[in-house]
Amino acid sequence: MALEASDRRQLQRRSDQLLAPLCLSLACMILQLRFGRVLALARWTSRRCRRPATVSEAASMTAAVRSAARHRAGRVACLEYSLATVLLAGLHRQSVQWCIGARLMPYGSHAWIELNGCPVGEPEHRDRPYNVLVRI
């Protein structure tokens, strides 16, 4: 018997909550490597995905990672959040785009995930948008 769509979403939400701490820990370890290797691993993860995540699936994954970060000691910021979300999506064989960007005046850098060019889990309107430097 096939699962209904609502049952599948609920099952994925539960698995996100269980896997998010693992993905967050893995992301923190991966970010200790040289950045070229981090990018190569993110590309490899993206190539393994069968289908793009929906906005609701990506938002659920992002929320699960942010929830897991509250219980983790140490620094967890946008780079760790976004890479952990990419890894979590990869475990579900779903693709999201990992973006790293920067802006000038005032200088800032940021990492986030996107679907079809739209950021997921980010504020709607930014007064100073980031220029994408890396998109995987």
Alpha carbon 71 to chain centroid, angstroms: 18
**C-alpha triplet 25, 116, 90: angle, nearest 5°:** 30
Report residue 129's pLDDT band, with 50, 70 and 90 as the boundaries: confident
pTM (two decimals): 0.89
| Tokens standing for residue 108 | 């800032």
Give the start-to-end residue ranges of the domains of the chain: 1-95
Report residue 93's pLDDT band, with 50, 70 and 90 as the boundaries: very high
Report helix, strand and coil shares of the chain as percent, to nearest 5: 50, 20, 30
Q: What is the mean pLDDT of residues 35-63?
A: 94
Report residue 2's pLDDT band, with 50, 70 and 90 as the boundaries: low
